[in-house]
Amino acid sequence: MSLVIATDLDGTLLHDDSTLSARTRGALHLARAAGARVVVATARPARVVDALFHGDKLLDAAICGNGAVIYEVGSARVEIAKPMPEELARWLISEIHSLVPGLGFAVETGTRALYEPGYLFRPTLDDDRFKVESIDDLVIGPLVKVMVYLPHANPRDTWEMLRPALGSAVECTWSSPTAAALEISAIGVSKADALAGLCTRWGVAAADVTAFGDAVNDLPMLAWAGTPYAVANADPRVLAATANHTATNNNDGVALVLERLFGS
């Protein structure tokens, strides 16, 4: 039986309307009651994890910011494990701004998001977002990530324009193939690395981890876990690379597997 359940949020555990279904809540309760630890691994910040789970005792930890932040749910401790140094963030924004016109910028500090007037992307669930007057006002210290948005372009194409100049200096992911922002972090940031670190703390081997995902940025985590699952709506590359498949996020694919694993 799996000792750790690790799951992505958007497109995997959550429905497309960013809600957590009653069936999924029940399945997470089943897993925890059976003694499994439950971890969500997401690009979202800790404050959104709190808003989603409403104080329910469904999680042991959350990997946030794509792996830059570890949120210990019981103690509400937020650990920025791999911050982006201020000088790197300033260089990154300046370089991107000079390479591609029309981009909008935002940053995540770990406690709030800041965005400048040109950043038009508006994710759901996160109200702790503060507008600054200009790009120069975004970097106020070490950051979790820099977010970059080019309207009318998909994130993959945007990154292809930027990757030759930036690819060796940072990690870049995105949470949707269309209408999504680039999420740029320090080198070494990944859900897989953060999950491996948590499991080492808990004395759990990769073989005893079941993981769920849908997007390309979930692939390293799925490759690391002993039992990986892709939801049916996953990116074709994720479906091709992942041994086990389950139903779509809107059909509670994660819950279906957890009920089979932990149901009586």
Give me the residue spans of the domains in the chain: 4-81+189-262, 86-186
**Residue 194 three-state SS:** helix
pLDDT of residue 264: 65
pTM of the model: 0.93
Q: Determine the Cα–Cα distance for residues 108 and 185; give it in Å rounded to an integer.
A: 10
- Tally DSSP H helices, then E strands, for the chain: 8, 14
- Listed in sequence order, the DSSP H helices in 132-244 are 155-166, 191-202, 219-224, 236-241
Position 242 scores a pLDDT of: 98
Q: How far is CA 149 from CA 96, 154, 178, 182, in A?
A: 11, 9, 11, 6
Please name the fold of domain 4-81+189-262: Rossmann fold (3.40.50)
Spatial CA neighbour of 255 closest among 5, 2, 3, 4? 5
What's the CATH class of domain 86-186? alpha beta
pLDDT at 167: 81
Q: What is the pLDDT along the chain (264 residues), one digit of tens a residue?
A: 689 999 999 999 999 999 999 999 999 999 999 999 999 999 999 999 998 987 788 999 999 999 999 999 888 889 999 999 999 999 999 999 999 988 999 999 988 899 999 998 887 777 778 999 999 999 988 999 999 998 888 899 999 999 999 988 999 998 878 778 999 999 999 999 999 999 999 999 999 999 999 999 999 999 999 999 999 999 999 999 999 999 999 999 999 999 999 986
15 dihedral zone (left: phi>0; alpha: psi -120 to 50; beta): beta
Query: Where are any strands of DSSP class E within 16-60?
Result: 37-41
**CA-based nearest residue to 77, from 59, 57, 55, 61:** 61
- The whole-angstrom separation of Cα 73 and Cα 194 is 15
